[in-house]
Amino acid sequence: MTDKPDANDVDALLGDLTVDAAASEAPAKPRRDLSLMLRKIPVTLTLEVGSADVTLDQLMGLEHGSVVELDALAGAPLVIKVNGTAIGRAEVVVSGENYGLKVLELSDLDLLSLDAQG
């Protein structure tokens, strides 16, 4: 037999390890405010008019002037999405020479909750 500890005996393998007291009392690094960093991450905001399920045959049959009926009612609020996730409803407006959206409803997402975690 040898004096080596059994490789499956974790306590025996770790028994000789000691913690350096000086290393454990080293000053902690200053904590970064992640909420401020996260606010700068770009996301894609989209306004979804509606969708339609079509077969590949119907898709291949589309041509200039084709009309595909969507699942949304005309005049109904449209879905606001951030990176593909629905966050509310809006209507289309004209903003200068571009389209814009007017927020009608936002989900209960707490977009500012990161501030409380500092």
CA distance 18 to 24: 11
Contact 47, 90 (CB under 8 A): yes
Position with higher pLDDT, 29 vs 73: 73
pLDDT tens-place string over residues 76-115: 999 999 999 999 999 999 999 999 999 999 987 665 554 4
CA distance 22 to 26: 7
List phi, psi (to 5°) of 80.
-90, 130
3-state secondary structure of 62: coil
pTM of the model: 0.58
Identity of the amino acid at 15: G
